[in-house]
Amino acid sequence: MNWIFPLSKGSGPLRPLTSLQEQRQRQIESLKTAHSNLAEIQKDVEYRIPFTINNTTISINILLPPQFPQEKPSVSVYPHIRHHLVDSHNGTMVTSPLITNFTMHSDLGKIIQSIMDEFWNNPPVLASGSSGFAFMYNKPSGIPPYPPQGFHFPAFPQQEASRPVAPAPMQIPGTDSMPAPPLGFNITRPVAPAYGLITDLPLPVPTADSLAGLNGYTYKMPEIPETFQELSELSTSQLKDMSDQEDVLLEHFVCLPQLKQVTSDKDELVKNIIEMSKNNLQLEPQLEGKRQEVLYKYEQITEMKSAFETKMQRQHELSESCSLSALQARLKVAAHQAEEESEDIAEDFLEGKIEIDDFLTNFMEKRTLCHCRRSKEEKLQQSINTHG
């Protein structure tokens, strides 16, 4: 039964980490350091990083094989997207050269950051039929659940169905020794179950310590003990039945207080979201009123801007017509016109068309006007020269 329920820390001294395990831990620490919102789905096996691009929430799933980092990690995304870094056939597996060429000396944290940067620079497009986390709380029919690769029971090596093993040692009350199994007593251990119930929990599922999730939401998973006290009270036959019968094992799993706490937290979160949505709907009339007010103000400012631009154009035209150079040109034209009129009066007098009294009056008037205009023109020219 140890393949299901690991022994407690007190069952013996911890084995030192191998070189491969140390390198694995270094890669995981690099991943955690580079991404503060990293969610640990299964310790040292599977991790998830949710992020949002263009109002679309995408999760990067990182699955570490048993021989990681000698073996390259498996990186996938959800929901299905179209992007040059993602396999075009399934729309989930990341086929970046950084992943395909992964070695023991690569930095997993920097590689994942490079993939996310590429997603930011070239946003992916949702594949047809994908809808993000539309089934966060209810698993719809016709849509496969979130990839359950990290929600299984611990990834133990494949077991042979007919391999005989001895029953797990049980502590006898009142004694300090562990009894040896009876001779000839064998137990047929079934293959480790390849499914779990955690796929029905809210997504994403942050674990370990408090982790910041979507929209700044922080959730702390219940503490998961390494051993379960309830199992020590069961007999060998009961443990064998639990190992052989999947229904019994799942029934015990469903009754775990940690799972009940997660489910309760999920229900409370759904309740809070519904209440917040109702409050938002109640504010909708006010928001619509403010929106209409903003639109009205926008129309007003548009009209005022148009009127202002028209008046500015008129002011510019008037300013140009009243400039010193324009006034000088007009005075020059007016002086020349008065001079021509005086010459016409003189020619009419010489031809005898007008009397001498009319000639003197009109001629002197036009010549005086001509000299006044020329004098003003000269003074204006001096002013222009003086003021540049």
Q: Which of 198-202, 220-224, 225-229, 294-298 has the lowest mean pLDDT?
A: 198-202
53 within some domain: yes
CATH number for the domain harbouring residue 216: 3.10.110.10
Radius of gyration of the chain (CA): 45
Bridge partners, 336 (sequence order) = none
Q: How many structural domains does the chain have?
A: 2
Q: How confident is the model at residue 216 (pLDDT cuts 50, 70, 90)?
A: low
Token pair of 274, please? 């519904």
Q: Three-state SS across 136-164?
A: CCCCCCCCCCCCHHHCCCCCCCCCCCCCE
Residues 95 and 211 in one domain: yes
101 within some domain: yes
What Å distances lie between residue 198 and 61, 146, 221, 328, CA to CA?
16, 10, 13, 92
Q: pTM for the complete prediction? A: 0.34
Q: Taking residues 353-366, what's their average pLDDT?
A: 89
172 within some domain: no
Write down the pLDDT at residue 388. Answer: 62
46 within some domain: yes
299 within some domain: no
Query: Could you report the per-residue pLDDT of 115-162, keeping only the tens digit for each?
Result: 988 888 888 888 775 544 433 334 433 334 444 444 343 444 444 444
Query: What percent of the chain is modeled with pLDDT above 90?
Result: 17
Q: Range of 327's domain? A: 323-388
98 pLDDT exceeds 80? yes
Higher pLDDT, 185 or 318: 318
Write down the pLDDT at residue 130. Answer: 54
Residue 195, SS3 per DSSP = coil
Query: What percent of the chain is modeled with pLDDT above 70?
Result: 73
Q: How confident is the model at residue 14 (pLDDT cuts 50, 70, 90)?
A: low
229 pLDDT exceeds 80? no
CA gap 354, 348 in Å, rounded: 6
310 pLDDT exceeds 90? yes
Residues 320 and 326: beta-carbon distance below 8 Å: yes
346 within some domain: yes
